[in-house]
Structures are given as structure tokens and as C-alpha cells.
Amino acid sequence: MDKIWTFLEKKTVSILTRRKAEKAYELANKKPRTVVGEIKGWADALVFAVVAVFLINQYLFQLFLIPTPSMVNTLLVRDRVFVSKTSYGIEIYPSGPKIAQANRMVHRDNIITFYNPEYISKGPFFDILSQILYMSTFSLVNIDRNEDGSIAERLYVKRAIGFPGDVIRFQEGNVYIRPSGSDSFIDENTFRAENNLVDGPHRSVDASTYDGIKAWGSLFGYKELGIQANSAPTYLSSAYLSVKNDNYPDDMYQFETSKMRTKALFDPSDFNSRSDSHKYSQGIYVPQGSILPLGDNRDDSRDGRYFGPISQKKINGRVLFRFFPFNRIGYLGNK
């Protein structure tokens, strides 16, 4: 036993002596600090930090800035949120295929981030560069802008509402759901109460406004058909007066529904108008492997009503936590 202790003692002394000698040599031969050396040191540190942050954002979590009011009051404009990138599988590269997807499915009412199906690419180089800058700066720098200077929404944040087999119908801004396997529609409020879902989704347009919106859409259909508005029924002209001074319909989906219905009734041979009108009246079917996302602020949201269901493969994360502003910090996984 003494031999072992003696051996360990000699070995320890040898290692410490060598390290002390190496440190003394480094101090004696230390190179003078130069501007170039300092710049290289900072550049190396910066590149490492950028790469590390990018990898964290791509494979673990991403910080996201809310750009529009589509999720008010759950999320306000300029809120900053924590998005889990592992909830539904991990993307190999931005917008690429996923791995580790087994048993990681979207659940009804999850707040999700997904790739905007209406996004117009500015080219692969710009797309990659803008995403790297956005993620590596924790969402502080976004060079992806529209022509008017507003932020181009490459990613959307919405709530997962419609699931495979469901049919979702919209009437005067209200949502009606025919769940998979059912033969009847149920209004969303009742559906949410029966399934213990949150009360985040809400309406802000008064029900009395819809007569005017529907009349506006119908009269616009007359216009597109080349028919004079004075040929329209008196009740349409009267109802339109209530929204005449509005710049934009409060519910564009209802506006389009009324417009297409009018065009289909006037010209049954117009297959496109008939098809669109049928789509609006029958609702949106959600196919297997897809989700229909809607904004909580139902009257001010560009969502699945307009671009339809999205593939679950295009969902890249789940919003779990709001970390800014500080007075609204909170967990969102149950919202």
C-alpha cells in the first residue's frame, strides 16, 4: 500500500512541476498584444457566439416577435415569446424535413408557429441569410421586409383549431365545427366548453354589422359581373348604407362569401364562381396530416380561412412562454 501512495505522490508532483514550468515558459515568452490580434480574438468569439445562438434557435428553442394583432388578446403586437423547436420534431435545417417526430403530434388548441403558405420568397440566398440573422440575434434583427417597410411574415403564429377529418364552417364570423366522425355541426363556443378548451378566441365585430357587410359583398359581385348597382334589390342598397364609409370590410371572409354567392346565382355556368361559392357554404375539410390554424382575434387575422389547412410538416414549433414585456411574463402552454 505504501508503494502505491509513493507512486501517486511522485506522479502528482511530476504533473504539477511540469504544469508550473509550462506556465512559467508561457509568461516568459508571452507575445505582445496587437490590434490585429485583438480583432481576431473578438472575431473568433463573435463567430462562435453567432453559430451557437443559431444552433440553439434551430434545434432547441427560438425567440419570436409577434408582428400583428391576429392573436390579441392572448398575444399582443411586439410581445416576445419562447417557441419550443422540439415539441413536434426537430427540423434538420430551416423549413426542411424533421426527425424525432414519433409521438410528437400537435394537440387541439396548441399555439403553433408555422411557415406562411403565402410567403413570397426573395431567393434562397436571402431567405437563408435573413433567417440566420433573425435567429442568431434572438429575433432582434429582421431584414425580411415588404415593399411598404413592414415585416414580411415568413412564420405565422396561430391556434390549432381544425384537425384531420373535421369540417370547419364560417357564418357571419362565427365558427362551426363538424368533428371527425360526426354528422352535425356545433358552434365553437359550445364545442370549446364541452372539451374544456380555453376561451382565447373572441369576436369584436358587432352582429348588427353583418347585414351591411353581406350587402357590400353582393354589390361588389354585381360590379364584377358588369351589372349596374341600381339594378340590385332595394334591401341591398339600404343595408349597404351602414358600411358605406368603411375603407375595408370588417370581415373579408363574409364579404367574399356574399360576393361569390351573388356571382354564382347570376351565372350558374361560371364554374369558378360556383366552386368558390360552394366552398364557402360547405366549409373547409381538414385532410389527414393537416391542421387548420386560426387567429384568436377572429376579426383581424389572415389565417386558415384564406389559405386553407396546412401540413403538420410545416409546423416548426409551439409557443410556450411569453418573456416580454416583463409585466406580462407568463406560461402559454395551457392557453
The set of catalytic residues is 70, 158
> What's the CA gap between 5 and 237, in Å, rounded?
103
Task: Compute the distance between CA of residue 317 and CA of residue 64 in angstroms, rounded to an integer.
Answer: 11
**Angle, alpha carbons 88-94-100 (nearest 5°):** 30
